[in-house]
Amino acid sequence: MATNRTANIARKTNETDISLEINLDGSGKYDIDTGIGFFDHMLEQLSRHSLIDMKISAKGDLHIDAHHTTEDVGIALGQAVNSALGDRAGITRYASLDLAMDETLTRAALDVSGRPYLIWNVSFSRDKVGDFDTELFREFFQAFAQNAGITLHVTNHYGENNHHIAETCFKAVARTLRSAIEPDPRQAGIIPSTKGSLAG
């Protein structure tokens, strides 16, 4: 297990300018400003409940919409997690969780496999939560999973409040990510695969 599981990512395109720092072995401290209020709130949940310290600054073409900023933050955060994990030796690798919030129940299952894949079984009854397009939640998690090199399944079992549905997705992913990247004391320094590698 790497002793310093941190990463810094800078990503600049014609659409966005992102700087990002993470510490996988943090305490859930965050300093997040993407210019998108509800997205910031969800990223704060992701940090707090995964115990990954996150510092994220993003400037994007919000005069168009929030798509590019949301997707590019997912890309940068995924790249940072992938970098901070190193060869993934000694991690638990798998985790799953059903997370409840009031009337809503959402399940996340995760494999830190090196093979990116997203299954997204989540529906919303409205196009927006506040000013944020609900279709962008999938775009964020797709970008994150692809660049982190993880297999991620998210299923909303039921729920009525769209804010709660979104929040349970982020919290459930946070808790499974926390568990999956935790050191496994029974396999310190060992890559949890019969192949001997979790590289993509």
Q: What is the pLDDT of residues 87-120, one digit of tens each?
A: 999 999 999 999 999 999 999 999 999 999 999 9
The helix/strand/coil state of 168 is helix
For the chain, domains (ranges, CATH) are 6-187 (3.30.230.40)
pTM given for the model: 0.94
Per-residue pLDDT tens digits for 35-90: 999 999 999 999 999 999 999 999 999 999 999 999 999 999 999 999 999 999 99
Q: Scanning the structure block, which residue is given the tokens 């196009």?
A: 127
Alpha-carbon distance of 166 to 158, in angstroms, equals 12
Q: State residue 146's pLDDT score.
A: 98
Higher local confidence (pLDDT), 99 or 130:
99
Angle at 152 between CA 37 and CA 124, to 5 degrees: 50
pLDDT band at 196 (very low <50, low <70, confident <90, very high): low
Residue 151 near residue 115, CB atoms below 8 Å: yes
- List the beta strands (DSSP E) in 46-179: 53-60, 94-101, 104-111, 117-121, 128-129, 132-133, 151-158
Q: What pLDDT is recorded for position 2?
A: 54
Give the β-pairing of 6-12 and 16-23: antiparallel
Query: What is the arithmetic mean of pLDDT over 120-135?
Result: 96
pLDDT reading at 195 higher than 60: yes
Encode pLDDT of 147-188 as tens digits.
999 999 999 999 999 999 999 999 999 999 999 999 998 888
Contact of 135 with 162, CB cutoff 8 Å: no
Q: Which residues contact 125 (CB under 8 A, 6 or more apart)?
A: 160, 162
DSSP 16-82: EEEEEEEETTS-S-EEEE-S-HHHHHHHHHHHHHHT-EEEEEEEE-TTT-SHHHHHHHHHHHHHHHH
State how far Cα 114 lies from the chain centre: 15
Q: Quick one: pLDDT band at residue 189, thresholds 50, 70, 90?
A: confident
Tell me if 106 sits within 8 A of 175, measured CB to CB: no
Q: CA 174 to CA 21: how far, in whole Å?
A: 17
